[in-house]
Amino acid sequence: MTQQPCRQNIVSVQDLSKSYQRGAQTVPVLENITFEICEGEFLALMGPSGSGKSTLLNILAGIDKADSGTVTVGGVDISSLSETDLAQWRAVNVGFIFQFYNLMPVLTAYENVELPLLLTGLSRRERREHVETALAVVNLQDRMDHYPSQLSGGQQQRVAIARAVVTDPTILVADEPTGDLDRVSAEDVLGLMGRLNREFGKTIIMVTHDPRAAERAHLVRHLEKGVMSDSGR
Amino acid sequence: MAIPFSYSFRNLWTRRLTTVLTASGMALVVFVFAATLMLAAGLRKTLVETGSPDNVVVIRKASQSEVQSGVDRGQAAVIETQPEIAVGTDGRQLLAKEIVVLISLPKRGTDKPSNVVIRGVSVTSLALRPQVKLVEGHMPRPGSSEVIAGQSVAKRFKGGGIGETLRFGMRDWTVVGTFDAGTTGFSSEIWGDADQLMQAFRRPVYSSVIFRLRNRLEFPKVKERIEADPRLTVEAKRETQYYSDQSEMMATFLGIMGMTLTFIFSLGAVIGAMITMYAAVANRTAEIGTLRALGFRRRSIMIVFLLESLLLGLAGGLAGIFVSSFLQFLTISTVNWQTFSELAFSFTLTPDIIIQSLAFSLFMGLVGGVLPAFRAARMNIVEALRTS
Ligand SMILES: Nc1ncnc2c1ncn2[C@@H]1O[C@H](COP(=O)(O)OP(=O)(O)OP(=O)(O)O)[C@@H](O)[C@H]1O
Ligand SMILES: [Mg+2]
């Protein structure tokens, strides 16, 4: 895999700190973290359990707030957005891929993928086109009327990926996307993510414990005791 | 755009057992609620239909019903001189001097006595009540110990059928006819000749004078004149008003009792709905976190759960109304508290009652759902997502 030159930073983190209060004790989780992510990057974030990977990812995705520092994504300083604006921003800019897929069990694959589009102004017809395209990318057009319970774990994760990309977001965030999958399904999902990155130029930030998953990324960063170390490959 | 309606609906469907149980609790309350209103409506309908807006009932001042009233022959004669009284085709005034006595008669089957209204009528009495029709036999002949019975009396009282004999006022009375008075209060009466009944009960005075107006708009005028006449100590009421006044106390009592029951039951149903909705919120914490992460606002989450709870209420309301509609086939007999006579009437379902019951069930759904929906909407995204 060849490393492309960085044209533009899509994510820029400055002096980010976050700590949790545990009783009377303050437990620092992230300490003065500063780094950038290039547009079109496929970044793997690794590190021991409890090192703050998920916390960092959640802050980049705009579902958690830092104590201090600035986070700029796609030119927007999200650390200064109000809750309502942040929700709106997420709907447009972030695609989520979760460890346990997090599909709505009562909605079909089609309806699950359509869900984020309900927050856009698209017409029903336009939504249908987008959903069908997204399901085609993950190769599940023939399963669109299936409910999550009628799909395998790998298929569910592919539906979740379709849901993440259907709005064409600025960044894709994935927390342990293969953590709940068998080897074959994991390969499948990783292959798909690699394709999204290569063919569609998606910027992906993936938290993982799995070295095989990290191999697919262009860049691996390690987080240890709240401090980020660079270890580009 | 909000989270689709089908998301709320299908979640209820997915946990059908809980949904059915919770909705059943609400249905029970709506049933009690609707039944109370239907009872009051039935009672009111029966009593109000008993009267006609063209008729005027004259009774002694401050006597709430004919049973307590007394109008002597002299006063009756004064009332007869009023010019507003209509005249029938036979040239006679459409006016009846009646006597109403309450007696106790044994019921069929049980032998248990119950109160019945005996009405002493004159020849014009039938003409004054178009809602009363003789269906069998003939009218009591003046000067005879003959009576006719309303269908409800004929059916439910011993000796009330045609050809049978009733004993009261120290005499035997032959039932020579049955009359149909629909759902009006007359169905629960026995009619006989006024003079014969006055003799039998040793009552020298009439209970009431009833007359038809030439023109119903003349009522205020005649009322004022009658009530101002120094020779009279009476009051004049439109017949419809007279009977609706009688239903008032009963309807109020039923209302208070029914609403108390409804209130107590509804606390249970609302708590039931609340528990169900809290459980739903707890079970779907990860889903809530996901929806929020995707960009749905707190308000959307709130609406989802309120909608679910409202649907629960609606289901309960529809079921409760459906079941209570069968009450219409039931005839209730109760004591008319004003006259202490038996009164037969049915539960009556009106469009108003349906609307009120549905509104009430939705209200219960709303009250039961509001706290759980609030909890769902207030969740922290990251913490909610961690529960998966
Ligand atoms: N709400 C919270 N209250 C207190 N401490 C918290 C809270 N959330 C996270 N932490 C702590 O913050 C630290 C970082 O958590 P985080 O979930 O980011 O770790 P992680 O690197 O993703 O771990 P893992 O690999 O196990 O998922 C942990 O020590 C955790 O206990
Ligand atoms: Mg984690």
Summarize pLDDT for B59-94 with one digit per residue, the tens.
999 887 888 889 999 999 999 999 999 998 888 899
The answer to whether residue B342 scores a pLDDT higher than 80 is no
Average pLDDT, stretch B130-140? Answer: 90
* Atom 31 of ligand 1, nearest CA residue: A50
Average pLDDT, stretch A132-154? Answer: 95
Q: Of all atoms in ligand 1, which is nearest to the CA of residue A58?
A: 18
Burial B8-24 (b: 16+ CB within 10 A, else e): bebbbeeeeebbbebbb
Is residue B54 domain-resident?
A: no
**Digit-coded pLDDT (tens) for A100-110:** 999 999 999 99
With beta carbons less than 8 A apart as the criterion, state whether B203 and B119 touch.
no
CB nearest A106 (choices: B10, B294, B297): B10
DSSP conformation letters of B195-243? HHHHHHTT--SBSEEEEEBSSGGGHHHHHHHHHH-TT--EEEEEHHHHH
Please state, rounded to an integer, the average pLDDT across all residues of chain B. Answer: 89
Residue after which a domain boundary falls, among B171, B199, B232: B232
Query: How far, in Å, from the CA of B192 to the mean position of ligand 2?
Result: 94
Average pLDDT, stretch A120-148? Answer: 95
Is residue B107 domain-resident?
A: yes
Is residue B279 domain-resident?
A: yes
Interface test with B, best of A53, A89, A92, A102 (most B CBs within 10 A): A102
pLDDT band, very low/low/confident/very high, at A23 (cuts 50, 70, 90): confident
Q: What is the pLDDT of residue A1?
A: 45
**Digit-coded pLDDT (tens) for B140-180:** 998 899 999 998 888 888 888 999 999 998 899 999 999 99
Which range in A132-146, B184-198, B242-256 is most confidently predicted, on average pLDDT?
A132-146
Ligand 1: residues within 6 Å at CB? A 20, 22, 29, 47, 49-55
Q: Are residues B142 and B260 in the same domain?
A: no
Q: What is the pLDDT of residue B303?
A: 96
Which chain B residues are Cβ-neighbours of A104 within 8 angstroms?
Answer: 7, 287, 290-291
- CA distance linking residue B353 with residue A79, whole number of Å: 55
The answer to whether residue A193 scores a pLDDT higher than 80 is yes
Q: What is the pLDDT of residue A231?
A: 56
Q: What is the pLDDT of residue A191?
A: 94
The answer to whether residue B27 scores a pLDDT higher than 60 is yes
- Full domain range(s) for residue B343: 6-48+246-386
Q: Are residues B381 and B259 in the same domain?
A: yes
Q: pLDDT > 90: what percent of chain B? A: 64
Average pLDDT, stretch A141-147? Answer: 95
Q: Are residues B378 and B269 in the same domain?
A: yes
The answer to whether residue B133 scores a pLDDT higher than 50 is yes
Residue after which a domain boundary falls, among B232, B254, B274: B232
CB atoms A63 and B292 under 8 Å? yes
Q: What is the pLDDT of residue B330?
A: 81
The answer to whether residue B343 scores a pLDDT higher than 70 is no
Is residue B240 domain-resident?
A: no
Is residue B237 domain-resident?
A: no
CB atoms B14 and A106 under 8 Å? yes
- Indicate the burial class of A232 (C-beta count within 10 angstroms; 0-12, 13-18, 19 or more): exposed
With beta carbons less than 8 A apart as the criterion, state whether B302 and B366 touch.
no
Count of positions (residues) in chain B: 388
Q: Are residues B127 and B156 in the same domain?
A: yes
Is residue B55 domain-resident?
A: no
Phi-psi region of B340 (alpha: psi -120 to 50; beta: other; left: phi over 0): left
Q: Are residues B222 and B291 in the same domain?
A: no
ipTM for this model: 0.94
- CA distance linking residue A34 with residue A230, whole number of Å: 11
- Higher pLDDT: A97 or B103? It is A97
Q: What is the pLDDT of residue B334?
A: 64
The answer to whether residue B337 scores a pLDDT higher than 60 is no
pLDDT band, very low/low/confident/very high, at B191 (cuts 50, 70, 90): very high
CB atoms B7 and A106 under 8 Å? yes
CB pairs under 8 A between A and B: 71
- Higher pLDDT: A55 or B252? It is A55
CB nearest A90 (choices: B1, B11, B295): B295
Q: Are residues B70 and B207 in the same domain?
A: yes
Burial A56-85 (b: 16+ CB within 10 A, else e): bbbbbbbbbebeebebbbbebebbebeeee
With beta carbons less than 8 A apart as the criterion, state whether A53 and A207 touch.
yes
Q: Are residues B44 and B79 in the same domain?
A: no
With beta carbons less than 8 A apart as the criterion, state whether B212 and B54 touch.
yes
Number of domains in chain B: 2
| Strand residues in A80-184 grouped as ranges (E) | 94-97, 171-175
pTM: 0.79
Closest Cα partner for B180 from B164, B172, B171, B191? B191
Count of positions (residues) in chain A: 233
Is residue B238 domain-resident?
A: no
With beta carbons less than 8 A apart as the criterion, state whether B213 and B219 touch.
yes
Residue of A nearest to B5 (CA): A107
- Higher pLDDT: B99 or B65? It is B99
Q: What is the pLDDT of residue B185?
A: 77
Q: Are residues B140 and B112 in the same domain?
A: yes
CA distance to A15, A61, A135, B136, B321, per residue, from A81 (Å): 18, 13, 32, 87, 50
Q: Identify any residues that bridge with B177 across adjacent strands, giving them in sequence order.
A: B137, B148
pLDDT band, very low/low/confident/very high, at A3 (cuts 50, 70, 90): low
Average pLDDT, stretch B15-24? Answer: 93
- Higher pLDDT: A2 or B249? It is B249
Residue after which a domain boundary falls, among B232, B266, B299: B232
The answer to whether residue A140 scores a pLDDT higher than 90 is yes
Q: What is the pLDDT of residue A233?
A: 44
CA B152 and chain centroid, separation = 17
The answer to whether residue A2 scores a pLDDT higher than 60 is no
Q: Are residues B174 and B94 in the same domain?
A: yes
CB atoms A96 and B294 under 8 Å? yes
Please state, rounded to an integer, the average pLDDT across all residues of chain A. Answer: 92
CB count, 10 Å around CB of B352? 10
* Atom 6 of ligand 1, nearest CA residue: A20
Q: Of all atoms in ligand 1, which is nearest to the CA of residue A53?
A: 21
Q: Are residues B43 and B160 in the same domain?
A: no
Q: What is the pLDDT of residue B118?
A: 93
Q: Are residues B222 and B366 in the same domain?
A: no
Average pLDDT, stretch A11-17? Answer: 94
Q: Are residues B305 and B261 in the same domain?
A: yes
**Digit-coded pLDDT (tens) for A37-46:** 999 999 999 9
- CA distance linking residue A191 with residue A183, whole number of Å: 12
